[in-house]
Chain A
Amino acid sequence: MDFKLSEEHKAVQQAAREFAKTRLLEGVIERDSKMIHPSEQVAEMGALGFMGIMTSEKYGGSGMDALSYVLALEEISKIDASAAVIMSAHNSLALWAIETYGSDTQKETYLTPLAQGKNIGCFCLSEPEAGSDASMQRTTAEDKGDFYLLNGVKNWITNGGKADYQLVIAQTDPDKKHRGINAFIVEKNWEGVTVGPKEDKLGIRSSDTHSINYTDVKVPKQNRIGADGFGFKLAMQILEGGRIGIAAQALGIAAGAYELAANYSTIRSSFGKPIADHQAIAFKLAEMAMDIEAARMLVYRAAYLKDSGEPYGYASAMAKLKASEVAMKHTVEAVQIHGGNGYVKEYHVERLMRDAKITQIYEGTSEIHKIIIARNIRKGELALPI
């Protein structure tokens, strides 16, 4: 069992770290404060190959593995969790499905420009009445012969405003329940697609989150992904992979907060010594470091299982659950370690604390993940951890 990163993985990690430090750090506080989308930086992420990082090279992607994806997301999240979720939603939630299940035409039309970062993608599953319970789809896609008629509202859509192409989940046949759900590629500029106003969020404020309305949108038959009724299963598979991305984001947020707190505690003095030398702070840092390492092992392992072609559902659930809990707990501690300074924007940690909260909610709530893990235990699928 080799815990070392290969030279190539280190190179990806280094490139992402350098990108985050030189291109994301500047202006991150202002972007968060004023909800400014990092469009320039997202374009650069496209040029660097981050926006199609796992997509095959033959579709213009970078052809890298899930571990590379995780390493890049972690580094980016340390500094700008909004840029990270833009990247994660694009890669895991939009691209992956099209590459894995898309028809040749769909891949040609949509996959290549998305993988090259020329267009942004988003995934539309959540609805005002359907969050954790995704089987209760109210958005309908009536089969009209040579097209589907799409009607309904989707909300909490990351990249909702900037995305040109949307992967929309909708109910075609209500009698078949979740087996009557389909997935479609919808273009933002089609008639009947209306993007709602940008949400004013607690955290990840420079990523744009919108509700999207569909009023009699005509979706060509060839834009349905996979066989009729495949949509729900596809959505679940998408989320399974998406968990790894968000787990990496949460891990990065925690690691970023830790680095800031550890550094601050060596510079800040009280009662005659750096606060890092006071046991109260030293103990906090020790716990932070340990919890982050533990979360990191879960996240990297989930990526490793995915790359090995092995089932990774419970592993990604554990990784996402653990990493998000660690992120929330320890960003709060990081603010505490900074004292008064932690309460102002200038020191970054308050932003990381606000960014952390969403990681416990989206991509499956913490509660849902406990259900997933419990089910795996019940099905006897957690027998061998390695």
Chain B
Amino acid sequence: MKKYSRITAIVLVLSIAASMLVFGAASAQDSGRICFAFQDVSTEFWVASHMAIIGTLEDQGFEVVQLNGGQDANRQLEQIRDCIAQGVDGIILIAQDGESGTTIISEAQEADVPIATFNRPPADTSAGIVVVADNRSVARQAVEFMAQKAIGRFEATGERINPLILVGDLADPNAVQRRAGFMDVIEKYPDIFNEPVEIATEWNSDVALASLEAAVTANPDIDFIFTSSDFLFPTIRSVLEAHDMWIPAGQQGHVILGGLDGDATACQLIKDGYVDATGVQDLYYEAELTLDGILTAIEQGDTQPNAVLQDPGFALTAGNIDFQEMDSWGCVLLADGFLDQ
């Protein structure tokens, strides 16, 4: 009997703890209810976006229903359906991929709930408020800066450059556009570059590590690497260090290195001389566009707002970091001690 009393006591304590957590957190606010569904919070970009969006909405008095899809498109779809069924006023979505984004937007619009996608566009951009960086242009700007350094090296040594690109998940239109921007520049200088090596990362650092290790082992003369997202710089560093190729600019054997996102790590590495350029998506501007779009739609009673809002972005390079540093969200976070936390 004593045993059962103990079990019952444990059950009660846990139930009370759960209830406190649940009802303590679920405090209704005045302005309305917004559902914020994201696919994960695993990179600096997503962490900073998450903080910016949640913080702004809560400051404005909205109750935010936060839903982490855990990189599972079906789970994200079910979460959005839950939100719709519970009568939220609007939805902000970071979809798992372009196709599932399209399906989810169509569900929301069919239920007359305004929806905006942040940074990761659906495959069909004609529906919903789509906030996205001009990925192709941003990638092109960053790779162009890298290409100019490559041309200088080619002119000095006469040896063609061997480029490599870490491609994202091609089901994500951002990854497709970034690859296209990279290819635009490589194809622009056919006399300088050899055929690029393409590494599929699926936006997964483990996959990237294994594939990059194999590629660098097979092609030790790789001297130009572009990553489709800055979150892979630590992965690149670990592979290049193992091959004695992690060398800052200005020294013999430096691998010309670039990326896209403009996160705090990239900013630090540009300052340290290891990275030459990164395409910057203006995270705060994109968050502002998303929030303005969805809140205006709610205010005006527009249940099916459709618009593509573009962040032009820019390239943060070793050449302009001294005067454009504070235009980059990653450098702002770096200055705030983000990497020390």
The yes or no verdict on A and B being binding partners is no
A residues with a Cβ closer than 8 A to B are none
